[in-house]
Amino acid sequence: MAEHEEKRKRCPHCGAELPEEASFCPYCARSVNQRQEKIPPSARWRKALRRAFIILVPLVLVIGAGAAWYRSVQPKVYDDGGTGEVLYTDEDGTYQILIGWRDTPYSPAPTITQDAELDEEYTFPVCLFINHKDTGVNAAGTFLRKVDSVTAEFGTPDDPSAYITYDKPAYSGYAPDAALTSFTHFLGRENSARGTWTITMDNGDVILLHQTLNVELIETVDIYPEDAPMDTIEDLQTLVDSLGEQVGASDVVNIHLPAITYEGNLVISDRPVNLYGSAEGAGRTVFTGTIQVNPGGVNWITYLHDIEFAGNGDGVAVTAARRTWAIGCRFTGWRTAFLCHGTGATDGIAYTSCIFEDNDVAVHYNTNRINMFNSVCPDNAFLRNGTGLLIEGVPVEQALGLPGCRFEGNGTDIDNRSGQPLDISQAVFQ
C-alpha cells in the first residue's frame, strides 16, 4: 500500500493527489507541468560572435601593424637585373648607383666587349658612380658614409684557364668623379664571365650590380723586312699608309724594322701601328727625323720599341696626339724628345726603360689636360737634359709615378708648372 502511494502523482502547488494523466490540479486550478526557460541557439551564437569580434579585431590590427613594421626594418636586396644600375631610396633621397666607364657617370655599362691578342694580358678600369637621381649631383661622399663594404668579383669564366679578375674597389685619381674604381685584368682568350659588385649598407641592405665581360680575339699581323720594302723612310711611309687597306680595323700590326738609319719624317695617321727596332748585335734602328703619331680608327696604343732617336739639337723626336708608349728607346740631342700633345680624355703618353740624354726638354706634357693613359712610367734615365720633365696643362688627381727613374746632371729635373701630383718616392736624384 505504501509502495503504491509513493507512485501517486501529487500537485506541486497544493499537494493534492492527482491522477497520473492530470495536467492541472482540480483543487487549485494550477498547471502541474514544470516549465524551463530556454535561450534560442541563434541568440547565443550572435552574442559569442560579438565577444570574439571585440577581442580579435584589435588583435588583428596589432599583428598587422607588427608585421608591417617588421617588414620595414628587415634588410632588403636590390638587384639591378642585369642593367648595371640600381635606384636606392632612403631618408636622404633617391640615389642612382651604376657601374660604367670613367667618362660616362650617368650611363651604366652592363656588358663590355674587349678585343685582345691571344694570351696577352690586359687591364681596364670599371668605375662605380653614385648620383642624386633628381639633380644629377655627385653623391658619392654622402652615400659612402652609409656603406659598410663594397666587393667586386667575377664568376667562373667560360674558359677557366683564362683568368678574369677585379681589383678591390678603391678611390682612384684616374677617375676622380667615381666613388670607387676597380681595375679589371684578363687574359687574351675567347671568353666571357659575369662580374658582380656587392654593396652592403650599414642598415643591412644589399645592392647588387652586374657586368658581363666578353673577350674577343683579334688578329696580330707581324711584318718583317723580307715581307715588305722598308729600307728608306719613303718605303716605310708607304707601308704604314697602306695598312688600312690590308688589315682589319681591329688587327694589331707590328712592323719589325731592320738595323738601319731612317732619314726624314714619318707620320702615323691612318691607323695605329707598332714599330719594333732592331737591337741585335752592334746594329740598331735609328731615326734622325721625327715621328708624328695621330692615327684615327680604333683607340689602340702605338708602341715604339727599342728605337734610337738621334737629333741635331732641334725639332721634336716624337709628337704624340694619340696614345703612344715608348719602351726601351733612346732619345739624344733634341729640342724636345717626347711631346704629349693629345687633347682627348683617353689620349696620353707612357715611357718605360728609356734613356733621355742631352735634350733641351726630355718629356713635355703640353695639353689642356695632363694626359697619361698609364700613370706609372718606370725605370727611365734623364741625363744632362736642360729639363727632365716639363709638365703643363690642367692637372688631374691621379699622381704620375716615376719608380726606378734616375735624374742626373739636368739643369732642372722636373718643372711642374701645372702642380700635377707626382710620386717620386722611388726615383733617384743625383
| Of 150-164, 196-210, 337-351, highest mean pLDDT | 196-210
Average pLDDT (6-35) is 66
Helix, strand, or coil (residue 240)? helix
Average pLDDT (197-206) is 96
Task: State yes or no: pLDDT of 394 exceeds 50.
Answer: yes
Average pLDDT, rounded, for the chain: 86
**How many residues make up the chain in this entry?**
430
Beta-carbon neighbour count of residue 376 at 10 Å?
Answer: 14
Average pLDDT (344-356) is 87
DSSP classification of residue 155: -
Average pLDDT (167-183) is 90
Dist. CA 172–CA 123, nearest whole Å: 15
Confidence of residue 260 (pLDDT cuts 50, 70, 90): very high
Q: What is the pLDDT of residue 67?
A: 52
Least confident of 52-56, 95-99, 371-375, 422-426: 52-56
Confidence of residue 270 (pLDDT cuts 50, 70, 90): confident
Confidence of residue 346 (pLDDT cuts 50, 70, 90): low
- Burial tier of 413 (Cβ tally within 10 Å: 0-12, 13-18, 19+): buried
Dist. CA 240–CA 11, nearest whole Å: 138
| Residue 215 and residue 190 in contact, taking contact as beta carbons nearer than 8 Å | yes
* Maximal C-alpha separation, the chain: 162
Element (DSSP H or E) covering residue 72: helix 41-73
Dist. CA 264–CA 54, nearest whole Å: 102
Q: What is the pLDDT of residue 38?
A: 47
Q: What is the pLDDT of residue 57?
A: 55
Q: Measured at the alpha carbon of residue 173, what is the angle toward residues 167 and 174, in degrees to the nearest 5?
A: 70
Higher pLDDT, 174 or 267: 267
Q: What is the pLDDT of residue 23?
A: 66
| Of 38-47, 291-300, 353-362, highest mean pLDDT | 353-362
Say what percent of the chain tops pLDDT 90: 62
Q: What is the pLDDT of residue 136?
A: 93
pTM: 0.67
Q: What is the pLDDT of residue 44?
A: 58
**324: β partners:** 302, 349
Dist. CA 84–CA 210, nearest whole Å: 5
The alpha carbon of 62 is separated from its chain's Cα centroid by a whole number of angstroms, namely 46
User: Cα-Cα-Cα-Cα dihedral of 417, 420, 423, 429, to 10°?
Assistant: -10
| Residue 217 and residue 159 in contact, taking contact as beta carbons nearer than 8 Å | no
CA-nearest of 153, 131, 137, 293 to 213 is: 153
In sequence order, which residues have a C-beta less than 8 Å from that of residue 103 and are 6 or more positions away? Answer: 345
Higher pLDDT, 118 or 311: 311
Q: Sign (positive/negative) of CA torsion 307, 313, 315, 316?
A: positive
DSSP class per residue in 300-356:
PPEEEES-EEE--SSSEEEEESS-EEEES-EEES-SEEEEE---STT--EEEES-EE
Dist. CA 425–CA 192, nearest whole Å: 39
In angstroms, the first-to-last Cα distance of the chain is: 149
Confidence of residue 347 (pLDDT cuts 50, 70, 90): confident
Task: State yes or no: pLDDT of 281 exceeds 70.
Answer: no
- Tell me the per-residue pLDDT of 84-115, one tens digit each, with 9 for 90 and over: 999 999 999 999 999 999 889 999 999 999 98
Q: What is the pLDDT of residue 250?
A: 81
Q: Where are the alpha helices (DSSP H) in 190-282?
A: 233-246
Q: What is the pLDDT of residue 185?
A: 93
